[in-house]
Amino acid sequence: MTGDAIWYEAAQVVGITNALNVAADGLGALGPVDEPGAPAETRALFAEIRAFYGGSADVPQGFRFIAHDPAYAAEVWAAARHAYADNRLTRRFKEALAFAVSVTTRSASGAAFHLAEMRRLGVGQPGVMEIAGVTQMFSSYTKMADTLQLEPDMGSIAPVDPTPAPGGPAQ
């Protein structure tokens, strides 16, 4: 897991997962968009989201809340679709990251959604428990480290990536 590119991908997954969980868990007061009565662009957006998630009947709730502004929802979806798609990191692993983020941030809806996606993408119960275990154990290590105010001492393990930003000139 070397090179900075995969870490940028992981950061995108972390960020957009949290953003979608915030919407799903916190924007319920807005109420979901009424799909049959929604504009064509909203219905097309929901169809695209369903297709991405394997034809599931359920559009993630967060999108139903933010689709009151269809143009905004479309941009959020474009970012999410890019973040979760296969790239250097697989979609299967990205769902595991999203599950870990959701569990760590106590988003029950996000944890349930990404658990279902992990399973749909082929992760078995042992694999789910691996991610659950890592998430739980490092939720312990981090709080112990914070309690004792430990200072980072393992930063030198990872090599520095000398490559430029995508499309940029080599230094």
Partner 1 sequence: MPTVRLRSAAEYPAAAQKLFELSRAWFNHDFAEPPAMSRVMAWDPEFGGPHGRAMKRAMGPGEFTRGEKEMVAAVVSGVNACEY
The residue ranges that bind partner 1 (CB under 8 A) are 1, 6-7, 10, 14, 18, 93, 96-97, 100-101, 104-105, 123-124, 126-127, 129-131, 133-154, 157
Q: How far is the CB of 46 from partner 1 (least distance, A)?
A: 29
Q: By C-beta, is 147 or 171 nearer to partner 1?
A: 147
Cβ neighbors of 60 (< 8 A, separation 6 or more) are 20, 24, 49, 53, 113
Cβ neighbors of 110 (< 8 A, separation 6 or more) are 17, 20, 21, 24, 25, 98, 101, 102
Residue 96 CB burial class (10 angstroms; 0-12, 13-18, ≥19): buried
Q: How far is the CB of 168 from partner 1 (least distance, A)?
A: 24
Q: By C-beta, is 36 or 126 nearer to partner 1?
A: 126
Q: By C-beta, is 79 or 129 nearer to partner 1?
A: 129
Q: By C-beta, is 159 or 168 nearer to partner 1?
A: 159
